[in-house]
């Protein structure tokens, strides 16, 4: 027995379980088949965390609007169950299972981005190392070298390109109905696409893996990228769905791994290197971001997070070391203002560091493209 604040005794409320919630959902019917939604195979997943419940209903995309009343009914039903404090029901687009696809060889050209000569993934094993800052400034620096550059924000859950590029509008859509194409936004000499261009800045993307992969494929295959020398892809942190989608659906030329000098970041960077090796994507090298801090007043140098860890890790892994980027206030303020430091102050110490990084990355990219090119065919007449 438990005593509440009024002094009344009552039974202790147990937490809900998947079994009890599934039983409750069996009372709801699929309007199309007449079966209960569990028997109809619509209940894709039930997650229970204490009194918090989330249920995913798998439906065909064309039926989603018609099944919205059912979704609300399921949510209200679950909220009434003993022990449930909050219930959320989401509809996920149903797709027939596809056989696993091996990643394409580095030299193969995938259909999603036929006009892009090289695709570079900028990745990190963990968040908070400045990967997006490096990706944006690397892309702008490559464009300043005279290359045609695209920038794709593959971080569906935490898109940061709109803020960093100073873009707050939706892309234009052109083409006949059923053949629409999005036109990437342009800024600082780049063509750019991000899920952040399509939704409000404060809207959370509460999506499961298949929806994330579908969004990535749309931003690549249904956008009018045109002919590009290189596309820089700002990857989300970690080694999950987005990384696997990019490795399987496009021919990545190589990956740039961003880390800070401290051991915990390097441990996660190591996982990132191994992940790309497993999917046959060459690692172009490691970058040490926030490598050191130089006081703007007295010039004193402080190695706040340590120094040289990424260089040593690159040597240990047998990967190239691409350079150091200092920890500078100007980089942060420029990013927040929507003006990459390479464009805002091209002669600054930070911009010079990114320009040198871009030069090394492009040299490594050209080497990777040459290594992946088919050998010349010899014909004897």
Q: How far apart (Å, rounded) are the C-alpha atoms in residues 211 and 213?
A: 5
pLDDT tens-digit profile of 201-230? Answer: 777 777 777 787 788 888 888 899 999 999
Judged against a pLDDT cut of 60, whether residue 291 lies above it is answered with yes
My answer on whether 89 and 131 are in the same domain is no
Choose one of 42, 59, 93: the last residue of a domain: 93
My answer on whether 252 and 315 are in the same domain is yes
The residue that leads in pLDDT, 103 or 150, is 150
Q: In this predicted structure, what is the pLDDT of residue 347?
A: 87
Asked if the structure places residue 38 within a domain, the reply is yes
CATH number at residue 306: 3.40.50.300
Q: Using only C-alpha atoms, what is the Rg of the chain?
A: 25
Structure tokens, 242: 């987005």
Asked if the structure places residue 101 within a domain, the reply is no
Domain that holds residue 124: 116-372
Supply the mean pLDDT for the chain. Answer: 81
The residue that leads in pLDDT, 242 or 36, is 36
DSSP state of 223: B
Give the angle 264-270-274 at the CA atoms, nearest 5°: 155
DSSP state of 177: T
Structure tokens, 364: 């490594």
| pLDDT grade for 380, boundaries at 50, 70 and 90 | low
My answer on whether 122 and 74 are in the same domain is no
The residue that leads in pLDDT, 348 or 44, is 348
CATH number at residue 34: 3.30.300.130
Looking at mean pLDDT, say which of 109-123, 243-257, 286-300, 356-370 comes out highest: 356-370
Asked if the structure places residue 325 within a domain, the reply is yes
Q: In this predicted structure, what is the pLDDT of residue 254?
A: 92
My answer on whether 242 and 185 are in the same domain is yes
My answer on whether 294 and 165 are in the same domain is yes
Choose one of 61, 93, 125: the last residue of a domain: 93
My answer on whether 148 and 56 are in the same domain is no
Asked if the structure places residue 301 within a domain, the reply is yes
The residue that leads in pLDDT, 363 or 53, is 363
Judged against a pLDDT cut of 60, whether residue 191 lies above it is answered with yes
My answer on whether 188 and 332 are in the same domain is yes
| β-pair partners for 118 | 230
| pLDDT grade for 331, boundaries at 50, 70 and 90 | confident
Asked if the structure places residue 107 within a domain, the reply is no
Asked if the structure places residue 136 within a domain, the reply is yes
Find all residues with CB under 8 Å of 159, minimum gap 6, and list them. Answer: 153, 194, 195, 196
Q: In this predicted structure, what is the pLDDT of residue 152?
A: 94
Asked if the structure places residue 8 within a domain, the reply is no
| pLDDT grade for 9, boundaries at 50, 70 and 90 | very low
Lowest mean pLDDT: which of 99-103, 303-307, 330-334, 343-347? 99-103
Asked if the structure places residue 9 within a domain, the reply is no
| β-pair partners for 56 | 45, 90
Q: How far apart (Å, rounded) are the C-alpha atoms in residues 106 and 122?
A: 16
My answer on whether 35 and 70 are in the same domain is yes
Would the pTM of this model clear 0.85, i.e. be above it? Answer: no
Closest of 187, 136, 186, 188 to residue 161, by C-alpha: 136
My answer on whether 130 and 269 are in the same domain is yes
Judged against a pLDDT cut of 50, whether residue 11 lies above it is answered with no
My answer on whether 214 and 348 are in the same domain is yes
Find all residues with CB under 8 Å of 191, minimum gap 6, and list them. Answer: 149, 150, 151, 184, 185, 225, 226, 228
Looking at mean pLDDT, say which of 138-152, 160-174, 176-190, 294-308 comes out highest: 138-152
Please tell me the total count of domains within the chain: 2
The residue that leads in pLDDT, 33 or 15, is 33
The stretch 290-311 carries a mean pLDDT of: 73
Q: Is 177 exposed, middle or buried (0-12, 13-18, 19+ CB in 10 A)?
A: exposed
């Amino acid at each position: 027995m438990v005593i509440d604040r009024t002094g009344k005794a009552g039974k202790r409320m147990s937490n809900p379980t998947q079994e009890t919630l599934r039983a409750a959902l069996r009372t709801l019917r699929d309007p199309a088949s007449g079966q209960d939604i569990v028997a109809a195979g619509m209940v894709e997943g039930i997650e229970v965390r204490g009194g918090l419940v989330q249920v995913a209903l798998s439906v065909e995309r064309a039926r989603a609007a018609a099944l919205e009343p059912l979704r609300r009914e399921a949510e209200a039903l679950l909220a009434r169950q003993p022990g449930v404090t909050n219930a959320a029901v989401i509809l996920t687009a149903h797709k027939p299972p596809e056989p696993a696809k091996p990643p394409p060889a580095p030299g193969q050209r995938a259909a999603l981005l036929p006009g892009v000569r090289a695709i570079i993934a900028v990745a990190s094993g963990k968040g908070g190392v400045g990967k997006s800052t490096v990706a944006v400034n690397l892309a702008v620096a490559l464009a300043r070298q005279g290359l045609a550059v695209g920038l794709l924000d593959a971080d569906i859950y935490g898109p940061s390109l709109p803020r960093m590029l100073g873009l707050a509008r939706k892309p234009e859509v052109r083409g006949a109905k059923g053949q629409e194409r999005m036109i990437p936004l342009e800024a600082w000499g780049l063509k750019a696409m991000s899920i952040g261009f399509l939704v409000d800045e404060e809207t959370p993307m509460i999506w499961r893996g298949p929806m994330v992969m579908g969004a990535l494929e749309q931003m690549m295959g249904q956008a009018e990228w045109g002919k590009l020398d290189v596309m820089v892809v700002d990857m989300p942190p970690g080694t999950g769905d987005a990384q696997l989608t990019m490795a399987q659906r496009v021919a990545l030329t190589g990956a740039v791994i961003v880390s800070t000098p401290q051991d915990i970041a390097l441990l996660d960077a190591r996982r990132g290197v191994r992940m790309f090796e497993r999917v046959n994507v060459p690692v172009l090298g490691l970058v040490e971001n926030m490598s050191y801090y130089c006081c703007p007043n007295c010039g004193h140098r402080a190695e706040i997070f340590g120094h040289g860890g990424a260089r040593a890790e690159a040597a240990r892994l047998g990967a190239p070391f691409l350079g150091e980027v200092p920890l500078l206030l100007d980089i942060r303020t420029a990013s927040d203002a929507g003006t990459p430091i390479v464009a805002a102050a091209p002669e600054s110490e930070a911009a010079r560091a990114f320009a040198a990084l871009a030069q090394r990355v492009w040299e490594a990219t050209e080497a990777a493209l040459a290594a992946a090119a088919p050998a010349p065919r010899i014909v004897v007449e």
